[in-house]
């Protein structure tokens, strides 16, 4: 708890271009949480270097993501928005937690298995201990809730195990975090293969709508979306392509699937795709405008980056100092 609010922590990597799926499924829903929770949203650049990155690209993307957080409506006065690498406690706590995590546990992580298959030439120790750094992110702020996708659930479970193990030895040091189950965002699927999640790392550029795609590109990608040969617009599992288009439409317009089905009654797929394209453009265009405006205001952004990191550093230090004391590190002389 901070004041009378529960704490919420989440992070996103700045690798790859964010997609409409990231926005509708996560970011957009974060905006409404700051009234209820004390929110920390980190750009987790330290996680990103577990796979090789071009330094200039990583730096630019990290800034773009932080800008996007704010453009999407996360008020940096109400939410703590910062770069993970600016707060030293993440690495410091991760080291300590490494000593409370078993090789066997990390070996079982499916993301580690997937990523080491994908980057067979660079299976580094950071990739292996990635979930421990994530545990440090969460536990450092005594987070009560963590909004994560299903792919990160295993890491959150591990975080809970590490925290419980630590608490069992040293007393109640860490809050045990829970997955955030509130209003979940729409799950947006690939436009080219609606059985797969829309992903920022899809090789097929037509599969994903990127947040910075221009209006014509968005319209074209919607037009090319894979559908079926049923010829009717209904919201059902048997028509995954159409269902996905309706989901996108509803997430962008705030309509329910029933309303949308009624609206498109008797229409052809072409009309649906056109309407989806327009709905997406009407959501992303203003967002892109805000990103552009904000990017121009370097002084403002730099101020936010500094003040939010200071706040994160201050709050996280409380947990870090407590943990350091518990494990037996000598007290620091007063400055």
Core vs surface per residue 29-62: b (16+ CB within 10 A) or e: bbeebbeebbbbbbbbbbbbebbebeeeebeebb
* Axis-axis angle for helices 110-118, 125-140 (nearest 10): 140
Tell me which stretch binds ligand TRP (CB under 6 A): 60-68, 94-102, 130-138, 251-259.
130-138
Active site residue 200: yes
44 binds ligand TRP (CB under 6 A): yes
219 binds ligand TRP (CB under 6 A): no
Instruction: Tell me the closest approach of the beta carbon of residue 327 to ligand TRP, in angstroms.
Output: 22
C-alpha Rg value of the chain to the nearest Å = 21
132 binds ligand TRP (CB under 6 A): no
CB 301: neighbour CB atoms within 10 A? 17
- 18, 20, 62, 148: residue in contact with ligand TRP (rule CB under 6 A): 148
38 binds ligand TRP (CB under 6 A): no
138 binds ligand TRP (CB under 6 A): yes
Active site residue 115: yes
Contacts of 289 (CB under 8 A, 6+ apart): none
- 7, 8, 9, 142: residue in contact with ligand TRP (rule CB under 6 A): 9
Following DSSP, what letter does each residue of 189-255 receive, concatenated? BPSS-TTSB--TT-S-TTS--BTT--HHHHHHHHHT----S------STT-HHHHHHHHHHHHHH--
Instruction: Tell me the closest approach of the beta carbon of residue 95 to ligand TRP, in angstroms.
Output: 16
Which of 6, 187, 200, 223 is labelled catalytic? 200
Residue positions annotated with a catalytic role: 115, 197, 200
Residues at the site binding ligand TRP, with contacts judged by CB under 6 A:
9-11, 13, 44, 47, 134, 137-138, 146, 148, 152
């Amino acid at each position: 708890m901070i004041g009378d609010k529960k704490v919420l922590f989440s992070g996103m990597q700045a690798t790859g271009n964010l997609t409409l799926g990231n926005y509708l499924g996560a970011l957009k829903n974060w905006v409404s949480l700051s009234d209820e929770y004390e929110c920390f949203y980190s750009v987790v650049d330290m996680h990103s270097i577990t796979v090789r990155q071009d330094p200039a690209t990583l730096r630019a993307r990290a800034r773009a993501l932080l800008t996007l957080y704010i453009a999407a409506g996360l008020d940096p006065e109400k939410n703590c928005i910062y770069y993970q690498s600016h707060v030293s406690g993440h690495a410091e706590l991760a080291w300590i937690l490494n000593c409370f995590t078993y090789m066997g546990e990390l070996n079982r992580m499916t993301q580690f298995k997937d990523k080491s298959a994908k980057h067979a030439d660079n299976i580094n120790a950071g990739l292996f201990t990635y979930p421990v750094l994530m545990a440090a992110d969460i536990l450092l702020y005594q987070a009560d809730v963590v909004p994560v996708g299903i792919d990160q659930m295993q890491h959150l479970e591990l975080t809970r195990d590490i925290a419980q193990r630590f608490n069992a030895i040293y007393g109640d040091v860490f809050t045990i975090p829970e997955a955030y189950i509130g209003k979940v965002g729409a799950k947006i699927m690939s436009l080219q293969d609606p059985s797969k999640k829309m992903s920022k790392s899809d090789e097929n550029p037509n599969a994903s709508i990127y947040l910075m795609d221009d209006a014509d590109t968005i319209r074209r990608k919607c037009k090319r979306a894979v559908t079926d040969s049923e010829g009717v617009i209904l919201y059902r599992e048997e028509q995954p392509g159409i269902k996905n288009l309706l989901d996108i439409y509803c997430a962008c317009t705030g309509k329910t699937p029933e309303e949308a089905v009624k609206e498109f009654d008797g229409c052809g797929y072409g009309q649906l795709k056109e309407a989806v394209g327009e709905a997406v453009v009407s959501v992303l265009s203003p967002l892109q405008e805000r990103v552009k405006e904000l990017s121009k205001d370097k002084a403002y952004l730099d101020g936010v980056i500094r003040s939010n990191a200071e706040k994160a550093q201050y709050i996280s230090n409380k947990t870090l100092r407590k943990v350091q004391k518990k494990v037996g590190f000598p007290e620091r002389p007063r400055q």
